[in-house]
Amino acid sequence: MSIKNINTLAVTAGINKDAHHGAVVAPIHLSSTYALKGFNEKRQFDYSRTGNPTRALFGETIAELEQGSVGIVTGTGMAAVHLICQLLTPEDTVVIPHDCYGGSFRLFTHLAKRGQFKLIVIDQNDQQALTDALAQKPKLVLIESPSNPLLRLVDIEEVTKACHEVGALVAVDNTFLSPALQLPLTLGADIVFHSTTKYINGHSDVVGGVLVTKTQELGETLAWWANCIGITGSAFDSFLALRGLKTLPVRIKQHQENALQVASFLKNHSGVDAVYFPGFEDHAGHQIAKKQQSGYGSMLSFEVKGGVEAVKKLFDNLSLFTLAQSLGGVESLISHPSTMTHAGMEIADQLEAGITQSLVRISVGIEFIDDILADLAHGLEQSQK
């Protein structure tokens, strides 16, 4: 029986596959090395940087969920981004969105400064800018949808089609939605990647990454590089991330239910100037979200009335929300992109990307909704005093 349902795929990964002891849950294989059967007689695994059973199971499971061929587990999400850069030479051009994850922005701009490739930074919803960038015949185009922290959406299918016409590879950062809500490979992308630190692990206790390719060939090239440069993830982290993955669909369900209520609450609050949430009909990307996502996710951002002083008062008066970077864990987190996640970007670049001093980002957790709303209500009331 071939199973396609994501809830079942996530739960059944590695279950009852242990031929040796019949362990129901797949064990953690911590051994760094594997004995050969005899002279020049290798088993499936020989050395854990190259391949490890626990990591392989996690990678195969994500590849299955993303409907791709090869899943490569990396030590961090940034390692997955860096792995993609191994495909580039100094003659190649890369196109990235102006509002991509701060760490990705920093990596691409600094590697470009060192001459490792040419870089074009654009707003991918600006048709002219996209056409001009593609006229340069880029080797790689990075898409991040929804973007961080303003939840801007890019039509993955349409942009990918245009990229393929000029021979560019398309890599999509799917961290904000997870395979439970968006499947970029089915929309045409060549590579999808995640910071598994976020929704996939979901418990804020692992830093990790994963990358899935549509074709076997590209997957083998990148797996070769992952072993060569030594950025593969650990067995222990793979075990934890796989355990987290089992509840991904049910966590996402609760995250989304809560996020919808938080977004509506903020929209109607007098201390809030604007709310960025793709679930709203007046959000610029709402139609794209409806088309390519199976839910609106649980990330949102908003502008607090009164600028940075009001933001500080809001943070000082919250008790359920934790002021911290990161996202996608079961607990609700709040952050100030300008001084936190996007601090690696020059202020001018931040403003160009729409990141103001009064912008606040929330990762809505799965706590009881009334407690979440009460905390926000109290914080916002104090912020306006």
Q: Which residues are catalytic?
A: 49, 101, 173, 198
The answer to whether 174 touches 193, Cβ cutoff 8 Å, is: yes
Shortest distance, CB of residue 233 to ligand PLP, whole angstroms?
Answer: 10
Shortest reach from residue 326's CB to ligand PLP, in Å: 7
52, 54, 76, 258: which one binds ligand PLP (CB under 6 A): 76
Scanning 71-79, 260-268, 270-278, 286-294 for contacts with ligand PLP by CB under 6 A, the matching segment is: 71-79
Written as six digits, the tokens of 153 are 């959406």
> How many residues appear in the chain?
385
Helices 235-245 and 53-65, axial angle in degrees (round to 10):
40
By CB under 6 A, is residue 155 in contact with ligand PLP?
Answer: no
In the beta sheet, which residues pair with residue 195?
Answer: 209
Q: Is 101 in the site for ligand PLP (CB under 6 A)?
A: yes
By CB under 6 A, what part of segment 157-176 binds ligand PLP?
A: 173, 175-176
Question: Closest separation between CB of residue 36 and ligand PLP, Å?
Answer: 34
Considering the rule CB under 6 A, would residue 283 count as an interface residue with ligand PLP?
no
Q: How far apart are CA 101 and CA 361, in angstroms?
A: 13
CB neighbours of residue 1 within 10 Å: 2
Cβ-count burial 175-214 (b if 16+ within 10 Å, e if not): bbbbbbbbbbbebbbbbbbbbbbbbbbbebebbbbbbbbb
Residue span binding ligand PLP (CB under 6 A) among the ranges 34-42, 70-78, 255-263, 310-318: 70-78
The structure tokens 């997957």 sit at 219
Among 61, 182, 195, 332, binds ligand PLP (CB under 6 A): 195
Spatial contact of 130 and 122, defined as CB atoms under 8 Å apart: yes
The DSSP code sequence of 28-42 is P---SB---SBTTB-
Query: Under a CB-based contact definition with an 8 Å cutoff, are residues 98 and 129 in contact?
Result: no
Asked if 202 touches ligand PLP (CB under 6 A), the answer is no
Closer of 197 and 383 to ligand PLP (Cβ):
197
Q: Which amino acid is at 81?
A: V
Tell me the closest approach of the beta carbon of residue 196 to ligand PLP, in angstroms. 7
Angstrom distances, CA of residue 287 to CA of 127, 145, 276, 279, 283:
17, 13, 14, 9, 9
Among 72, 78, 142, 153, binds ligand PLP (CB under 6 A): 78
- How many residues contact ligand PLP, by CB under 6 A? 15
- Does 329 help bind ligand PLP (rule: CB under 6 A)? no
Beta bridge pairs of residue 118: 93
The reply on whether position 197 binds ligand PLP by CB under 6 A is: yes
- Residue 173 CB, nearest approach to ligand PLP (Å): 5
Interface with ligand PLP, residue 77, by CB under 6 A: yes
- The answer to whether 344 contacts ligand PLP (rule: CB under 6 A) is no
Q: Of 326 and 356, which CB lies nearer to ligand PLP in the complex structure?
A: 326
CB of 342 to ligand PLP, least distance (A): 11
Chain centroid, CA 299 distance in Å: 11
Of 209 and 279, the one with the shorter C-beta distance to ligand PLP is 209
Q: How far is the CB of 299 from ligand PLP (least distance, A)?
A: 9
Place of tokens 């990762």: 363
229 CB neighbour count, 10 Å cutoff:
13
Phi, psi of 212 (to 5 degrees): -125, 135
**What beta strand segments (E) does 286-337 contain?**
299-304, 322-323, 333-335
Q: Examine residue 383 and tell whether it contacts ligand PLP (CB under 6 A).
A: no
Q: For ligand PLP, which residue has the nearest CB? A: 77
Considering the rule CB under 6 A, would residue 148 count as an interface residue with ligand PLP? yes
Tokens of residue 14, six digits = 């590695």
- By beta-carbon proximity to ligand PLP, the closer residue of 27 and 103 is 103
Using CB under 6 A, list all residues that contact ligand PLP.
76-78, 101, 103-104, 148, 173, 175-176, 195, 197-198, 207, 209
